[in-house]
Amino acid sequence: MPTRNNPFKPTQPVFTGMFAGRINEIKRIETILCETKESNPTNLLIVGERGIGKTSLLLLMRTFAQGGIPCHGEKLDFLTIFVSLDRRTFVADLARKMNTAMERGLRDSGEAIQFLRDAWSFVQRLQVSGIKLGAKASVTNEAEVFENFTYSILDTVKALISEESASSKLGLVHPKDGLVIFIDEVDNAPEELDLGTLVKQLSENLVAEDCNKVLFVLAGCPEIRNVLIKSHASAPRLFEELELTPLSGEDSKWVITQGLEEANKNNSEPVKITDEALNRIVAFSEGYPHFVQQFGYSSYAIDKDNSIDLNDVNTAAYAAFKNIGDRYYKDMYFNKIKENSYRQVLKIMSEKWNEWVSKKEIRSNFKGTGSTLNNALKALADRNVILRKPGTRGEYRLQWLGFAFWIKVFAEKLEGEIRNYNGISTSTGT
């Protein structure tokens, strides 16, 4: 059988042509971009669980902002900055990342690169002064970097949007519509970055300087709200929130059929999928775009007769759940939870799959004290490992049906491997 190129990409954001659903969010995004061009920006906070498609939506929005797709019938021309945060991103690192992104966005203009180097000269000074990537500066240096950072963005935006400055300082044929700053993985931001205060101060400076063509788009897991509040209590009020929910069954099916359609353009023999197989992928993936991609990928890989049927999907399910678990569930089960008693709660809840379970039911099977159970439920809910039932006290459920399956099939084996490894390490002194 000839080698086939698998069209599904479970480890990557979905490219624009495979994007499905989010119609209301996309309409709002188009409106906000057009309003930003007219000096009336509305900063966006895109919130959702891992695997829900936040990064894919950001990339689609960037395509709109750069003019790759017409927005309300017109092609926009924003300069865009796209950065992701991690636990080692401090103010100096964020400044470096943004400066690099700007240079890449304006790389065809020598004048622009020279202007940026002058306007962002403090970035070069940081390296000379010994502030390395991922290292926290002193309080004094951090405050200076903070101030230089905000004014460098101001100077750059003024040059971008002014007809005269865009031509003379940046060598651009036309001024830009403005600047869109995309910041992904915001829930990873260290407290020292003080992101909420940074965005608030920069927004106020932009208004004071009558420079209102800058749009901030932040994305992250639900913890993103706490990150902003801890930094500045009023920071969330700077944003309009878009909370992403799972795709509908029809949208999930569209992703699979569209992927096959793209692949079949290059296949000597077209690959088809039965309705039963399509429905099973929808059920297994639960509407999470990355999960749809994973089940599509695994089912496509296992098919041998150019017809993906129910047996193919069921056979591929074990590998698909394992891969999803390695990327999503394992971190929640081991890294977010340090107490075995907490994992015991998850095991009890998994017996009801992802149905609502009362605290009383959990307590009847829990081997531990009442206070330990209370601590476990609070910690698991606060960390978004389990969900609280809205409007009801003492009822919880696992977020994903697949998480329950993974706990039943994989978790105990992994715990045993960890125990064995720790025993070997202790006995050998490693």
The CATH number given to whatever domain includes residue 256 is 1.10.8
Going from the C-alpha of 110 to that of each of 79, 120, 161, 411, the distances in angstroms are: 16, 15, 18, 55
Please report whether residue 8 resides in a domain. no
Same domain, 178 and 106: yes
- Residue ranges of alpha helices (H) inside 86-182 are 91-105, 110-119, 121-128, 139-161, 163-168
Please report whether residue 104 resides in a domain. yes
- Which residues span the domain enclosing 174? 22-243
Q: What pLDDT is recorded for position 262?
A: 87
Q: How many CB atoms lie within 10 A of CB 258?
A: 15
pLDDT-derived band at 417 (thresholds 50, 70, 90) equals low
**Over residues 171-175, mean pLDDT:** 90
Handedness of CA 292, 297, 299, 300 (dihedral sign): positive
Quick check: 175 pLDDT over 70? yes
Last residue of a domain, one of 296, 331, 366: 331
* CATH number of the CATH domain containing 389: 1.10.10.10
Same domain, 180 and 41: yes
Helix 121-128 and helix 110-119: axis angle, to 10°?
A: 60
Same domain, 290 and 362: no
The total number of structural domains that make up the chain = 3
Q: What pLDDT is recorded for position 18?
A: 60
Quick check: 425 pLDDT over 50? no
Same domain, 101 and 200: yes
Q: What is the pTM of this model?
A: 0.82
**Over residues 381-392, mean pLDDT:** 88
In contact, 260 and 292? CB cutoff 8 Å: no
pLDDT-derived band at 146 (thresholds 50, 70, 90) equals confident
pLDDT-derived band at 128 (thresholds 50, 70, 90) equals low
Last residue of a domain, one of 264, 296, 331: 331
Same domain, 315 and 346: no
Q: What pLDDT is recorded for position 251?
A: 92
Quick check: 427 pLDDT over 50? no
In this structure, of 2-11, 146-155, 188-197, the range with the lowest mean pLDDT score is 2-11
Last residue of a domain, one of 208, 243, 278: 243
Please report whether residue 1 resides in a domain. no
**Over residues 277-302, mean pLDDT:** 94
**Over residues 398-413, mean pLDDT:** 88
Same domain, 281 and 358: no
Residues in Cβ contact with 307 at an 8 Å cutoff, skipping those fewer than 6 apart = 271, 272, 273, 274
- Tens digits of per-residue pLDDT, 309-362? 999 999 999 999 999 999 889 988 988 888 899 999 999 999 999 899 999 999
- Tens digits of per-residue pLDDT, 199-225? 998 899 888 988 899 999 999 988 888
Quick check: 75 pLDDT over 80? yes
Please report whether residue 142 resides in a domain. yes
Regarding predicted confidence, which is higher, 5 or 257? 257
Q: What pLDDT is recorded for position 416?
A: 65
What mean pLDDT value characterizes the chain? 88
Nearest by Cα to 281 from 270, 271, 295: 295
Same domain, 311 and 365: no
Same domain, 175 and 323: no
Same domain, 315 and 180: no
Structure tokens at 15: 């490219």
Same domain, 166 and 209: yes
Same domain, 86 and 203: yes
Q: What pLDDT is recorded for position 401?
A: 86
Q: Is 101 exposed, middle or buried (0-12, 13-18, 19+ CB in 10 A)?
A: middle
Q: What pLDDT is recorded for position 13?
A: 76
In this structure, of 11-20, 355-364, 395-404, 405-414, the range with the lowest mean pLDDT score is 11-20
Same domain, 196 and 311: no
CA 349 centroid distance within chain:
27
Q: How many CB atoms lie within 10 A of CB 260?
A: 20
Q: What pLDDT is recorded for position 3?
A: 67
- Tens digits of per-residue pLDDT, 11-49? 877 666 567 778 899 999 999 999 999 999 999 999 988
The Cα 270–Cα 92 span in angstroms is 52
In contact, 306 and 269? CB cutoff 8 Å: yes
Please report whether residue 352 resides in a domain. yes
Please report whether residue 14 resides in a domain. no
Please report whether residue 6 resides in a domain. no
Please report whether residue 350 resides in a domain. yes
Q: Could you give the percent of the chain with pLDDT greater than 70? A: 91
Quick check: 257 pLDDT over 90? yes
